[in-house]
Copies of this chain bind each other. A is one copy, B any other.
Amino acid sequence: MIKAHIEKTLKASENPLKIDVKIHVSRGMFASLYGASGAGKTSTLRMISGLLKPDHGLITNHEDLWFDSNKNITKNPKHRNIGYVFQDSALFPNMTVFENLEYALTNKRDTKHLYQLIKLMKLDELCNQKPGTLSGGQKQRVALARALAQKPALLLLDEPLAALDNESRVELQDCLLQVHKTFRLTTLLVSHDIAEILKLSDQVFVMDHGKITQQGSPKTIFTQNSLNENFEITGEISKIERQGIQFCMTVRIQNTSVKIMAKKFEIENLKVGDEILVGTKNFNPFVLKTSD
């Protein structure tokens, strides 16, 4: 359980931004912080991690006191044991992928954990490459693995996928899901992609001009908020075929058949004849008149 009640006035540009947030995330939960550019998301994460000092407030992680302005206590960020993934990956260019992971290990001899991570995140083939030679998606995968290498008490992700193209993005989202399933780390993700938040998180905080304006389950927040962001309809599975490493389901909705690609773990408990709910987050439809 991470609790952060913090205030800080940022005096950049003409109009200063006052950040004043209360964030509670229960142990093992995946929470997201959503908001427009400049809302103060990164600054909030930096304050939680200790990279930026709040003006007032209290930050605790379980029983551990990280910051208390009243008692004038600030725990050094290097002792907070936080896994942090930056938007620009922040991999160390002078080290290979393996050395990057190794550097992050708290216990240098815990190579078992290292190899587990390499396997889980499919980094085997990249191990000896330098970050400069990796694609954007690969970089963020390594950055995520590195953040996990130190067995963090809290995982902070600052728009780790914002700079990626669609394909890598979806792939990394799956990877994040997998990681969260495996380690059950308390996670706070900054994102301004609604679909991403819907896919990944249990809880969302909407931030605007430094304040938390809404919080709750992503589905409630985003459907009540912007009507056409979310869309759901029911159908029936009529066929499941293997296609390479993926699976292709044919779903009958009304009188049309729709083909939907799925990963193996997604269809694990589905079979032909099942009725399913097909939804899309971030529903941004076009409309064509058919009857005229």
Contacts from A to B (Cβ < 8 Å): 13-14, 36-38, 132-133, 135-136, 164-168, 170, 192-195, 198-199, 226-228, 231-234, 248-249, 253-254, 256, 258-262, 266, 269-270, 274-292
Contacts and interface: CB of A to CB of B under 8 A. Distances in A.
Contacts of A281: 284, 286
A198 B167 CA distance: 16
A261 B260 CA distance: 25
Nearest to A15: B133
Given A36-B165, A227-B248, A132 B13 contact: yes
Contacts of A277: 287-290
Contacts of A276: 287-291
A41 to B, nearest CB: 11
Most buried by B among A36, A135, A164: A36
Contact of A291 (B168, B228, B275): B275
How many copies of this chain does one complex carry? 2
Contacts of A275: 289-291
Contact of A274 (B228, B253, B279, B289): B289
Nearest to A279: B286
Most buried by B among A278, A279, A285: A285
Contact of A283 (B38, B192, B280, B288): B280
Nearest to A277: B288
Given A254-B254, A266-B287, A275-B290, A259 B227 contact: yes
Contacts of A270: 287, 289
Contact of A37 (B165, B249, B262): B165
A262 to B, nearest CB: 7
A167 B286 contact: no
A166 B274 CA distance: 34
B254 A234 contact: yes
A128 B280 CA distance: 42
